[in-house]
Amino acid sequence: MGKAVETIHVEAPATWRMRPIYLVISVLVITYVATTGIGASLFPFQFGRDQLVAFSYPQQVPLDWMTSLGSPLYWSLLFSMVVIAPLAAFLAEHFARQMISMQRRPDIAVWIPIAVAAAMAAFCIYKLAMAEALSAHELWDRSICSHEKLLRRIELYGLLGNRYYAFAYSSLPIVGCYLLAQGITQRNAPALIGWATVSAMTLWFDVAMMTKAPAVIYVGTVGLTLALCGFGALRSALLALPLAIVVYAGLSLLLNCTGETAPWERTLPSGTTAAEFSSTVASPQTPASPRSATVPDRTSSQDPSLSTPTGPSRPLIDTAFIALRTVLFRMAAGFPYYVQIFSEPDQRCGIEHPPLRWLPPRTCFGPTKVYSKMRPLVTYATGFQPGPVNVSAYGEAGLWYVIAATAACGLILGILVSFAGGRDPLSIAIIVACCIYAYYATQVSLTGSLIDSYGLIWLILPLILMVAISAVSHARIRSRT
């Protein structure tokens, strides 16, 4: 008879005041409210409309066209994310936790995550070198303005490929979090050295891509990992938050050329009101077609949204308010456009499917369609205005798919987090992966949150690979003894 699998009861450490499912759902709800909920809930009122117009300047906001603003449909879609997804997640976690026995977690040797990270990092370095972006020289050159750097970033998408972004956005960060958890919980010095190395490479890859969000998110996940390892939520936040602010501000300044005004300092002209600036634009039945992704002559192209009108000097508190508006409206600004455009069934793009060869290519993409309506003056490249899972689902197939996609998001979170039952490095990495997925579910469609470069599949793939290598390694050792 084979040896029975040893089952143990894993007690939650005293530093965990809640089950992992509560943490994951908190990340989902808080992120959604902060990035979409607050801004979108303001837009039906005059104050919110004024702020939306100021945020969108110099693009016009078609307020007269937005007849669905503040309608029952508007509010139902807005609240669907904070009702359906948490309920589905709680139910899924409750039943899955009862079905999954808490077995001893595999003992993964430290060389395995280091080897996995080294292979992915080598691939990323090779791709950057081939794209002549390894030194990130365009980022450091302050004579190159943000418009030109944006075009360079668009070029890098094609030169580096999706696998590079998957490793840099998702796989390497989650391996780094695993190594940090292994180093702290097992007092493993090589793991901590590996984490420091992986962190340095991950942040450098983000710098080379000239992107801010992945670097800031990684700093946040490191803080979350520290908290889950028992370092304390407050101390972890006090370490991670200032560093995230420094990273964000530093990269924002580097992305602008000398003398260029930062986005949070751009204002309406002096004396101009939202009502005076907004005007009715094209009917939603004939939205602008997606823009070409070709890159024009960089010396002659100018994005009007990057210009800054002359206005009075603003005190520090006013500038802080504008910066807050920039953060709160980045995602929320697209919400009323999604509701209005896709309230017409013939404008919906159909359920988004993976880009597989045997499937027909997509000719309609919601984020592109919405962006062309929001930013008709931007013609030099294809723009994207993403929406959370529920909002994107409405643009794909209507209200029935909003319910299905939002519930699916919650079910995925509940089932996956049920595998994290202890304080071991693998459980901590799974919780971190669930939190990252919860964040992206508030930013992109269901399909995108699963398979794109920041998708769940790329978060859990290295963990699965590490477990598989460890199992094979232990099996070979046992066969020799």
- The lowest-confidence range among 57-66, 98-107, 190-199, 359-368 is 98-107
Residue 239 lies in a domain: yes
Q: Greatest CA separation found in the chain?
A: 85
Per-residue model confidence (pLDDT) at position 344: 92
* Per-residue pLDDT, 260: 58
pLDDT band of residue 361 (cuts 50, 70, 90) is confident
Do the domain assignments include residue 439?
yes
pLDDT digits over 300-343, tens only? 333 444 344 444 555 566 667 777 787 889 899 999 999 999 99
User: Which residue bears the tokens 């780094």?
Assistant: 176
Percent of the chain whose pLDDT exceeds 90: 51
- For residue 357, how many other CB atoms are within 10 A of its CB? 5
* Cα torsion through 117, 228, 421, 5, rounded to 10: 60
Cα(117)–Cα(115) distance, rounded to whole angstroms?
Answer: 5
> Of the candidates 448, 366, 373, which has an alpha carbon nearest to the alpha carbon of residue 405?
448
Q: What pLDDT score does 284 carry?
A: 31
* Per-chain mean pLDDT for the chain: 82
Residue 433 — very low, low, confident or very high, per pLDDT cuts 50/70/90? very high
Would you say residue 280 lies in a domain? Answer: no
- Say how many C-beta atoms besides its own lie within 10 A of residue 148's C-beta: 16
Structural domain includes residue 455: yes
Both tokens of 171, joined, read 């796989």
**Beta bridge mates, 108:** none
CA distances from 230 to 78, 206, 233 (A): 35, 28, 8
Q: For the segment 242-290, what is each residue's pLDDT rounded down to a tens digit?
A: 998 888 888 877 777 665 555 545 554 444 444 444 433 333 333 333 3
Mean of pLDDT values over 46-51: 91
Q: What share of the chain is helix, strand, coil (3-state, %, to 5)?
A: 65, 0, 35
Q: Which pLDDT score is estimated for 148?
A: 77
- Residue 271 covered by a domain: no
What's the angle, vertex CA 327, arms to CA 324 and CA 330, rounded to 5? 140
Q: What is the DSSP letter of 396?
A: H
Tens-digit pLDDT profile for residues 400-430: 999 999 999 999 999 999 988 778 899 999 9
71 in Cβ contact with 101 (< 8 Å): no
pLDDT value at position 328? 85
> Tokens representing 435?
């939190």
Residue 83 has pLDDT above 90, yes or no: yes
More confident residue, 94 or 283: 94
Q: What is the pLDDT of residues 196-236, one digit of tens each?
A: 999 999 999 988 888 888 999 999 999 999 999 988 888 99
Cα-to-chain-centroid distance, residue 124? 20
Give the Cα separation of 222 and 229 in Å (integer): 11
Q: 414 near 21, Cβ under 8 Å?
A: yes
* Nearest partner of 64 among 268, 282, 216, judged by Cα: 282
Q: Could you identify the residue written with the tokens 């003894």?
A: 481
pLDDT of residue 381: 67
Q: Provide the residue range defining the domain that includes 422.
A: 22-262+385-480
Can you name the residues that pair with 391 across neighbouring β-strands?
Answer: none
Q: Residue 111 is which amino acid?
A: W
Q: Evaluate whether 301 touches 31 at the Cβ level (below 8 Å).
A: no
Start-to-end CA span in the chain (Å): 18
Give the pLDDT band (50/70/90) at residue 8: very low
293 located within any domain: no
Domain-embedded: residue 368? no
Beta bridge partner(s), residue 103: 7
What is residue 100's predicted lDDT score, i.e. its pLDDT? 73
Note the pLDDT of residue 111. Answer: 94
Ranges 108-117, 153-162, 196-205, 276-285: which has the least confidence: 276-285
Chain Cα centroid distance, residue 167: 14
- pLDDT value, residue 21: 93
In a domain, 296, yes or no: no
How large a percentage of the chain has pLDDT more than 70?
Answer: 81
What burial class does residue 102 get, using C-beta atoms within 10 Å of its C-beta: 0-12 exposed, 13-18 middle, 19+ buried?
middle
Q: Which amino acid is at 140?
A: W
- Find out whether 374 and 62 touch, Cβ atoms under 8 Å: no
Domain count of the chain? 1
Report which DSSP code applies to 32.
H
What confidence category does residue 380 fall into, taking pLDDT thresholds of 50, 70 and 90?
Answer: low
